[in-house]
């Protein structure tokens, strides 16, 4: 896989921090021209840091992916997209017994970003993709199972897999592969906030729950964003040329399906 991505244009949404930033850094390290797309107005800081670390060409694009006009403008200056990583998403609790005036708006916003935003991202990127290009959507192992209190997030990640499978069929005849990565627990800010909520539900400490989750895996501690990034590189590489319509777990064996 050494330098396979030299001069390839790679777009990564949700790339200010966490998995998205690690994935963007991994592609930049492999020689890609990377476009960081994120709603955080400080996205330029991330692009400068990745460029300094990797010596790659990194471009920052401030964009709310739930807004079609934002997405269209974001991609307007990119002539060609070889790889799209549709990673942007919101992870937050939406308990069914919570106050409706609070959680209904959260439910709508999560759905707008995680489902509609992913669709819009792919729709506008596809206009700049030719045969041989590849799309990877970030879902979650919660897109194959579920946990309490996270109805909107769980539902959106299930929807991501339905979208991925549909687009694999739709874009396959055009030579475009579409897959998904389903990360398990990863040490990101939103994931650790979810851990806190679940630990409270279980009436245990966050440290105890983290230990329990690590023991449910086949090996190792809860992974870092950098660990997960390799799954994306693999799925968009020549080594996965016949792989499409697949939801690949990157969870150290926590969910064996």
Separation CA 141–CA 146 (nearest Å)? 8
- For the record, the structure tokens of 181 come out as 């990565």
Rg (CA), the chain: 18
Backbone angles phi, psi at 71, to 5 degrees: -65, -40
> Is 153 a catalytic site residue?
yes
Max CA-CA distance within the chain?
52
Q: Are 220 and 211 in contact (CB under 8 A)?
A: no
Separation CA 139–CA 235 (nearest Å)? 14
Q: Are 118 and 163 in contact (CB under 8 A)?
A: yes
Contacts for 246 with CB less than 8 Å, ≥ 6 apart: 179, 180, 235
Q: Which of 103, 153, 232, 239 is catalytic?
A: 153
Sort strands 247-250 and 177-183 into parallel, antiparallel or unpaired. parallel
Within 112-239, residue ranges assigned H as helices are 118-126, 151-171, 189-202, 206-216, 225-235
- Indicate the SS3 state at residue 225: helix
Element (H, E) at 84: strand 83-86
Separation CA 151–CA 156 (nearest Å)? 8
Element (H, E) at 33: strand 33-38
Q: What are the residue numbers of the active site?
A: 153
């Amino acid at each position: 896989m050494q330098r396979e991505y030299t001069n390839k244009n790679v777009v990564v949404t949700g790339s200010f921090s966490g998995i998205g930033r690690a994935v963007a850094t991994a592609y930049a390290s492999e020689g890609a021209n990377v476009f960081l797309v994120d709603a955080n107005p400080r996205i330029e800081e991330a692009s400068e840091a990745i460029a300094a670390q990797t010596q790659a060409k990194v471009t920052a694009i401030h964009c709310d992916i739930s807004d079609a006009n934002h997405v269209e403008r974001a991609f307007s200056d990119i002539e060609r997209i070889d790889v799209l990583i549709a990673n942007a998403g919101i992870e937050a609790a939406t308990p069914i017994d919570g106050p409706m005036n609070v959680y209904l708006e959260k439910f709508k916003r999560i759905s707008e970003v995680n489902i509609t935003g992913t669709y819009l991202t792919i729709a506008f990127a596809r206009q700049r993709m030719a045969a041989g290009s590849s799309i990877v959507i970030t879902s979650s192992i919660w897109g194959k199972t579920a946990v309490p209190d996270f109805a909107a997030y769980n539902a959106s990640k299930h929807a991501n897999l339905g979208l991925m499978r549909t687009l694999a069929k739709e874009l396959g005849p055009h030579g475009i592969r579409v897959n998904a990565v389903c990360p398990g627990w990863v040490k990101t800010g939103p994931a650790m906030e979810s851990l806190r909520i679940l630990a409270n539900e279980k009436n245990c400490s966050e440290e105890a729950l983290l230990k329990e989750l690590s023991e449910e895996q086949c090996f190792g501690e809860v992974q870092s964003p950098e660990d997960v990034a390799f799954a994306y590189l693999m799925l968009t590489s020549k080594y996965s040329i016949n792989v499409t319509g697949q939801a690949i777990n990157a969870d150290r064996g926590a969910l064996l399906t």
